[in-house]
Amino acid sequence: MKTLPLLVKREYWEHRGGFLWTPVWVTGITLLLTVLGLVTAEVFRSRADVRVGFSLDMLRQDIDAKDWANAGYGLDVVQFVFGALPCIGLFFVLFFYLLGTLYDDRRDRSVLFWKSLPVSDLATVASKALSAMFVAPLIALAVSTLAYLAFLVIVGTWLSLHGLNVLPAIAASHPFRTAWRMLLTIPVDALWALPAIGWLMFWSAWARSKPFLWAVMLPILVVFANWWIGVLGGPHFAGVLDVAKIVGRLLLSVMPGGWMSLDAAGMARDWMPGHGSSGSEGLLAPERLLDVLASANLWIGVAGGLVLLAAAVRLRGRRIEVNV
Amino acid sequence: MSAIVQARGLSKSYGTTKALDAVDFEIDAGRIVGLIGPNGAGKTTALKAILGLTDYEGKLEVLGLDPHTQRTRLMEQVCFIADVAVLPRWLRVREAIEFVGGVHPRFSREKCLAFLSHTKIGQGMRVRELSKGMIVQLHLALVMAIDAKLLVLDEPTLGLDILYRKAFYESLLSDYFDEQKTIIVTTHQVEEIEHILTDLMFIRNGKLVLAATMDEVGDRYAEVMVNPDKAEIARALKPLNERQVFGKSIFLFDGVERSRLAELGELHKPSVADLFVATMKGTYA
Q: Which letter, b or e, does each residue of B118-130 get, where b requires 16 or more Cβ atoms within 10 Å of its Cβ? A: eeebeeebebeeb
The verdict on A1 touching B (C-beta cutoff 8 Å) is yes
Output the 3-class SS for A183-208: HHHHHHHHHHHHHHHHHHHHHHHHCC
User: A3: distance to nearest CA of chain B, Å?
Assistant: 5
Lowest mean pLDDT among A83-92, A132-141, B142-151, B228-237: B228-237
Chain A residues with CB inside 8 Å of B72's CB? 118-120
Q: What is the mean pLDDT of chain A?
A: 86
Q: What CATH number is given for B3-205 in this structure?
A: 3.40.50.300
From CA B20, how far away is CA A314, in angstroms rounded? 24
With a cut of 70, list the residues of chain B below it in pLDDT: 1, 84, 282-285
User: A225: distance to nearest CA of chain B, Å?
Assistant: 32
Q: What is the pLDDT of residue B220?
A: 85
Please give the single-letter amino acid code of residue A309: L
From CA B220, how far away is CA A76, in angstroms rounded? 87
The answer to whether the Cβ–Cβ distance between A109 and B86 falls below 8 Å is yes
In chain A, what are the domain boundaries?
A: 3-318
Q: Please give the residue that has the higher pLDDT: either A196 or B285.
A: A196
Of A1, A6, A111, nearest to B99 by CB-CB distance is A6
User: B183: distance to nearest CA of chain A, Å?
Assistant: 15
In chain B, what are the domain boundaries?
A: 3-205, 217-279
Count A/B contacts: CB-CB distance under 8 Å.
Answer: 74
From CA A20, how far away is CA A26, in angstroms rounded? 10
Q: Is the pLDDT of residue A138 over 60?
A: yes
Which of A67-76, A198-207, A264-273, B186-195 reaches the highest mean pLDDT?
A198-207
User: A252: distance to nearest CA of chain B, Å?
Assistant: 28
Q: What is the pLDDT of residue B285?
A: 64
The verdict on A105 touching B (C-beta cutoff 8 Å) is yes
Of B72, B82, B85, nearest to A120 by CB-CB distance is B72
Is residue A139 within 8 A of residue A23, CB to CB? The reply is yes
* pLDDT tens-digit series, residues B2-42: 789 999 999 998 888 888 999 999 999 999 999 998 888 88
The answer to whether the Cβ–Cβ distance between B102 and A3 falls below 8 Å is yes
* pLDDT tens-digit series, residues A44-76: 877 766 554 555 555 555 666 677 778 888 888
From CA B144, how far away is CA B61, in angstroms rounded? 24
Question: Has this prediction a pTM greater than 0.90?
Answer: no
For residue A316, count CB atoms less than 10 angstroms from its CB and return exposed for 0-12, middle for 13-18, buried for 19 or more. buried
Q: What is the pLDDT of residue B124?
A: 94
* pLDDT tens-digit series, residues A9-52: 999 999 999 999 999 999 999 999 999 999 998 888 777 665 54
Chain A residues with CB inside 8 Å of B100's CB? 117
User: A319: distance to nearest CA of chain B, Å?
Assistant: 8
Is residue B116 within 8 A of residue B144, CB to CB? The reply is no
For residue B82, give the chain A residue with the closest CA: A112
Is residue B90 within 8 A of residue A12, CB to CB? The reply is no
Chain B residues with CB inside 8 Å of A120's CB? 71-72
Q: What is the pLDDT of residue B267?
A: 85
> Residue B35: beta bridge partners?
B201
Q: Is the pLDDT of residue A246 over 80?
A: yes
Q: What is the pLDDT of residue A277?
A: 43
